[in-house]
Chain A
Amino acid sequence: MTDPTVARLERRLARERSARVEAERIAERGMRELYLANQDLDLLVAARTRDLEHERFVAQQASQSRSQFLAALSRQVRSPLNGVLGTLELLEGQVTNDQAQAWVTSATRSAEDLLRLFSRLLLFVQLDDDGATDADNSPTELDKVGTQVRERWARPAITHGKLLIVDDLTAPGTAVSEPPGRLGHLLDELIENAIVHADPGPVRVELREADGEVTIEVTDDGPGIADVDQLLDPSIDDPSGRLQSLGMGYPLIRRLTDQLNATVAIDVAATGGTTVRVTLAAIG
């Protein structure tokens, strides 16, 4: 005969054991269900990812063909426009009559404006394509910037009856990491805008460096922007006309500033005159 205490203990042990086995079975089933649910989830995620990738591809294609169309349009428009400009130049030499001379000048201005507009459109589209304009990602030396601005803008400034003063106050060898192409485009937009608005000039471009920052200031004596904040919102109308006059230039400046690691600030002096200040980090 077995000892009743031992029998009790054996029964308790058997109970515990079967409870443990059951717990394990339940836990295993739970884990298996979790595993299967995870697998379903993986499949679902994979399918969603595929769908999204396809949608992105389609959207990319659409955006690419739109960009390509706009780029081709602006390139193709420029050839006949150059033809028009050439012809107008020939005509200018031929006409003697003052009135006709004025018409030719006016036509030339308009054709130039149109040409500039399409150049900006092309640049904008190219910047949109992931900044494809800058194959070159090398840093920009500031003395080169000064020289380039002088070479490029001294003559157009004179044509507009304005004086262009370029002051490079940076130490030789100062550079910024932004590539020369995009930085050049930004300065072109700012300087051209200043030349158009200077009243009656001069336009001053100043390059300075302090505390590891490079500032490039473009100052003119033209009327400023009534409310500087407006420049941040292209949808706001612009009583001073300054903003509107930027036309295509405005979104271009925003896009360039976004792509460059730059900040742009605008000061309007109480005495009239506007300063646009671009700040970049110096390297070296």
Chain B
Amino acid sequence: MKGIIFNAVEEAVTELHGADTWDDLLDHAGVDGSYTALGTYPDSELMALVGAATEMTGVDTPDLLRVLGRHALPVLVGQVEELVDRDGDVFDFLASIHDLIHVEVKKLDPNANPPDIEADRLDDNTLQLTYRSTRGLPALAEGLIVGSGDMFEQPVTVVTNVGADDSSTVFRVSRAA
């Protein structure tokens, strides 16, 4: 996984619980914790960090990933500032992840393997996103979607449906009333 994801997680944890918590997490997970956005690190380190957090807090892993995703989004956006219209529409942003932003991510690093986030506009107030990945981190995706609503100040609610074959997850995203 790209270092930027680790950076985003670190930032989220530090923001929510302070730098000391991040130190403790690293210790608990047994990872050395020096991550640069340019680097790539084993997925297992991310899972170890999330596992350690679950152990330390008692919050289950999907919930943790949702929280992390929600707070990590601004860090990711900061990496591709020029591709994001902060005054635009949150649905436009979410619909551009697959064809624009994750594409750009792959251009910068051909080894990066971001997930498929297919977008379908059901109506003006409903966007359907289908997540497909070998990593199985739908909760992270859900957090990132909610975080997008926060960032655009256009709050959204997400209804999650695990796909029939387990390899995909469908999110129905609505504008919060």
Do A and B truly interact?
yes
Chain A residues packing against B (C-beta within 8 Å): 8, 11-12, 14-20, 22-23, 26-27, 30
Residue from B23, B32, B35, B39 within 8 A of A12 (CB atoms): B23
* Residues of A contacting B36 in the complex (Cβ-Cβ under 8 angstroms): 19-20, 22-23, 26
B33 at the interface (CB under 8 A from A): yes
Closest 7 CB pairs of A and B: A23-B36, A19-B34, A18-B34, A26-B38, A15-B34, A19-B36, A23-B38
**B38 A8 Cβ-Cβ under 8 A:** no
The number of A-B residue pairs with CB atoms under 8 Å apart is 31
Bound: A92/B19 CA distance, A: 118
Bound: A8/B24 CA distance, A: 10
**B35 A8 Cβ-Cβ under 8 A:** no
Q: Which residue of A lies closest to B20 (CB)?
A: A8
* Most-contacted residue by chain B among A15, A17, A19, A23 (CB, 10 A): A19
- Count residues of chain B with CB under 8 A from any CB of chain A: 11
| Interface of A, helix, strand, loop or mixed by DSSP | helix
* Most-contacted residue by chain B among A8, A12, A20, A30 (CB, 10 A): A12
Whether A23 touches B39, Cβ cut-off 8 Å, given contacts A15-B32, A18-B34, is yes
Given contacts A18-B34, A19-B35, 11 further A-B contacts (CB under 8 A): A8-B23, A12-B23, A15-B33, A15-B34, A16-B34, A17-B34, A20-B36, A23-B36, A23-B39, A26-B36, A26-B39
A-B contact pairs, 26 of them (CB 8 A): A8-B19, A8-B20, A8-B23, A12-B19, A12-B23, A14-B34, A15-B32, A16-B34, A17-B34, A18-B32, A19-B34, A19-B36, A20-B36, A22-B34, A22-B36, A22-B38, A22-B39, A23-B36, A23-B37, A23-B38, A23-B39, A26-B36, A26-B38, A26-B39, A27-B38, A30-B38
